[in-house]
Amino acid sequence: MARSVLSGIPVSSGIAIGKAYFMNRRLAGALPRQSIAAELVGEEMDRLAQAITAAAQELSDVRAKVPVELRENALIIDTHITILRDPKLLAAAQRFIAEMHINAEWALIKAVKDLETAFAAIGDPYIRERIQDVRLVADRVQAKLLGIDPGTKAIEGRIILLAFDLAPADTVGLQVDKIMALSTRQGGKTSHTGILARSLQIPAIVGVDGLEEKVEDGDFLVVDALGGKVLVDPTEEELDHYASLKYQFESYQKSIIKNCYLPGETIDGYRVQVHANIELFEEVSQVLDHGGEGIGLYRTEYSYMNRPELPNEEELVEEYMDLASIMVPRKVVFRTLDLGADKFLSPEGALDERNPAMGLRSIRFCLQNPEMFRIQMRAILRAAVVGNVSMMYPMISGLRELRQANRLLWQCKRELAAEGAAFNGDIPVGIMIELPSAVMTAELLAQEVDFFSIGTNDLIQYSLGIDRTNRLVSYLYQPLHPAVLRSIKHVVDAAHQAGIEVSLCGEVASDPFCVPILLGMQIDSLSMNPQAIPGIKRIIRQTTMAECKNLLREVLGCRTVSRINRLVRDSIFQRFPEELTFFSSLIESDEAPTPHA
Ligand code: PEP
Ligand code: MG
């Protein structure tokens, strides 16, 4: 493929040099619509039948290799094989070919559309959702018709994984040890591809324009996730440059890890707890290896994803107890289910809502599905007998929702007591502050909770009106926007006035440019991806509260985000020149990119 340099948004730092491997190459744009001459209709019908047989055979081959520990994946594959072997799908599509003289690709699209309409009328939401399996299977057949590999081929050697998008559910079961870097066409700064990449400690760039058009499987690439570039077929000079930058960055990382077990304390004695955000139990070792003082955010929704049925209470108790007990005496904050928006039970769930970030997500979804919510809350209460456990509700918009959730929690405690079950009913219960309405009512909310945790990923999205997964507006995603800083300060002050602690668990907590300002506000704890902990502790330990307060005062006096960015950049440059070299891309220009730049 021709040499080119593509730009994107770096979401997990580092440099990788290696070969491209595509997964989930988007098919929709590639599907041709063609008329078929009457005499070729029979041939076209056969072509479709052969593609379906080949797709089913491919799945059977994959199914035969699934190890026992991935039983759930095997069940999903079985379902897909059954759909493919169901003669109704083939018959419906072949009818379109015969009657409309259209090509197999379009006939299949039309057959799936008809099924979508039929499924949409089904009352049971679980069965209705199964249309997603039909779509996945149809994609696989389309790939066969077009001769495109859908990404089930075995990965040989270590690769740079490229995809149109990676939903959290797609990533379950990836051969993570073979992936050197990730890059996607879709996604914004806090999309979950970045969160995943950081937890795997691999570089990642999202929102890369031209990724699918300009890169072929097997192309040689440099992924520069410090500067936000993907170089296709780099020159010798570029390779030398990036090999040396990679070495410098990795040496810097090694040097900061040495002191990561020291407490997060400023030179003049202000102590801030430094916690980790995790999605999977397997990340615990990284938390401990990077000096995490606890888990400030356990994103519990990941154990609900990409499986045929929801986990039961016993399964959750076991998972939660394992986590709580391995972390003892350190705390673990279980965030109750935050499904919807960018975290769906399956990769295709997003299609069901027009505006999922504003839709039935998070605590709203839980309150409308109380049975599922109760099972999770009961599991957390039961697991809390073995560790230092807290619980928090995401996306609370005001007192009404908080009280509704607390009422369910109270019922769970009563039931568990009546059953004679072992549980801890005295755990701290907090809320995430992610909505402007929660910011504005922080004083009221603080009276009825044990702690706050500010979720800046969503708070910025909702305060500035920017879809966090949309790369077209990612330049507006400004953590140092005066509105964001004032909101955070307001919440911290309201918490402290009410005598409760306040943490910050959005990506801002790991941004070297934001941390001194947050310290100046006297935040009690910061929770971040485990890999960021050593670098952030280094900043905390080399600064004073006095200078952080000065910086905060100056920043709050600025009227524009550009002025604040300049001020912060200058201040970090003087104090922490290395951070500026490696993280300067975190501070972006607040100007819109020129179209098609
Ligand atoms: C946040 O919104 O800042 C947050 C930590 O939650 P998530 O990224 O899981 O939405
Ligand atoms: Mg959130």
**What DSSP letter does each residue of 427-466 carry, written as one string?**
--EEEEE-SHHHHHTHHHHHTT-SEEEE-HHHHHHHHHT-
CA of 158 to the centre of ligand 1 (A): 31
Residues of the chain where predicted confidence (pLDDT) is lower than 50: 28, 69, 152, 169, 347-351, 594-597
Going by C-alpha positions, the residue among 196, 208, 249, 248 that lies closest to residue 232 is 208
Q: Which residue has the tokens 């599905």?
A: 369
CA of 427 to the centre of ligand 2 (A): 22
CA of 208 to the centre of ligand 1 (A): 23
What share of residues in the chain are helix, strand, coil (percent, to 5)?
Answer: 55, 15, 30
Nearest CA to ligand 1 atom 3: 455
Question: How far is residue 59's CA from residue 72's CA, in Å, rounded to a whole number?
Answer: 15
What local confidence, expressed as pLDDT, does residue 177 receive? 80
Could you identify the atom of ligand 1 that is nearest to the CA of residue 505?
5
Q: What does DSSP assign to residue 471? A: G
Instruction: List, in sequence order, every residue forming a beta bridge with 278; answer none if it has no partner.
Output: 298
Catalytic site includes residue 505: yes
Phi/psi at 205 (nearest 5 deg)? -130, 130
CA of 435 to the centre of ligand 2 (A): 9
Residue 3 tokens read as 């040499």
> Model confidence over 234-272: pLDDT tens digits?
999 999 999 999 999 988 888 889 999 999 999 999 999
The one-letter code for the residue type at 188 is: G
> Model confidence over 536-584: pLDDT tens digits?
999 999 999 999 999 999 999 999 999 999 999 888 888 887 776 676 6
Question: How far is residue 281's CA from residue 303's CA, in Å, rounded to a whole number?
Answer: 9
Sign of the CA dihedral running 282, 525, 469, 435: positive
Pick from 458, 463, 469, 523 the residue to mutate for probing ligand 1's pocket: most ligand atoms within 8 Å of its CB: 458
Phi/psi at 559 (nearest 5 deg)? -95, -25
CA distances from 597 to 103, 126, 324, 337, 476 (A): 37, 44, 49, 39, 17
Nearest CA to ligand 1 atom 8: 457
What local confidence, expressed as pLDDT, does residue 348 receive? 47
Strands of 4-7's sheet, edge to edge? 4-7, 229-232, 220-224, 15-23, 159-163, 179-184, 204-206, 9-12
CA distances from 363 to 1, 336, 398, 469, 550 (A): 47, 8, 11, 20, 38
Four-point Cα dihedral 320, 322, 323, 326, nearest 10: 150
Q: What does DSSP assign to residue 586? A: G
Nearest CA to ligand 1 atom 6: 455
SS (H, E, C) 56-87: HHHHHHHHHCCCHHHHHHHHHHHHHHHHHHCH
Query: Residue 569, Cα to own-chain centre: how many angstroms?
Result: 27
Question: How far is residue 423's CA from residue 378's CA, in Å, rounded to a whole number?
Answer: 8
> Could you report how far apart the first and last alpha carbons of the chain are, in Å?
21
Instruction: List, in sequence order, every residue forming a beta bridge with 527; answer none if it has no partner.
Output: 275
Residue 281 tokens read as 């139990």
Could you identify the atom of ligand 1 that is nearest to the CA of residue 341?
10
Residue 296 tokens read as 């400030």
The one-letter code for the residue type at 533 is: I
Could you identify the atom of ligand 1 that is nearest to the CA of residue 508?
3
Q: With contact defined as beta carbons under 8 Å apart, do 361 and 367 qualify?
A: no
Q: With contact defined as beta carbons under 8 Å apart, do 416 and 423 qualify?
A: yes
What local confidence, expressed as pLDDT, does residue 565 receive? 93
Question: How far is residue 124's CA from residue 119's CA, in Å, rounded to a whole number?
Answer: 10
DSSP per position, 543-572:
S-HHHHHHHHHHHHT--SHHHHHHHHHHHH
CA distances from 258 to 89, 244, 423, 557 (A): 59, 22, 39, 37
| Residues contacting 152, CB < 8 A, separation 6+ | 58, 62
Pick from 196, 432, 433, 461 the residue to mutate for probing ligand 1's pocket: most ligand atoms within 8 Å of its CB: 432
CA of 434 to the centre of ligand 2 (A): 6
Q: Which of 366, 505, 514, 548 is catalytic?
A: 505
Question: How far is residue 241's CA from residue 260's CA, in Å, rounded to a whole number?
Answer: 29
Question: How far is residue 465's CA from residue 454's CA, in Å, rounded to a whole number?
Answer: 17
| Residues contacting 371, CB < 8 A, separation 6+ | none
CA of 456 to the centre of ligand 1 (A): 7
Q: What does DSSP assign to residue 188? A: -
What local confidence, expressed as pLDDT, does residue 495 receive? 98
Catalytic site includes residue 260: no
| Total residues found in the chain within this entry | 597
Category of 465 on φ-ψ map: left (φ > 0), alpha (ψ -120 to 50) or beta = left
Question: How far is residue 338's CA from residue 302's CA, in Å, rounded to a whole number?
Answer: 10
Could you identify the atom of ligand 1 that is nearest to the CA of residue 458?
2
Q: Which residue has the tokens 């990769």?
A: 347
3-class secondary-structure state, position 183: strand
Q: Which helix (H) or strand (E) holds 383?
A: helix 370-383
Question: How far is residue 563's CA from residue 548's CA, in Å, rounded to a whole number?
Answer: 17
Ligand 1 pocket (Cβ < 6 Å) reads: 190, 297, 299, 338, 434, 455-458, 505-506
Q: Which of 192, 275, 290, 481 is catalytic?
A: 192
Question: How far is residue 19's CA from residue 156's CA, in Å, rounded to a whole number?
Answer: 10
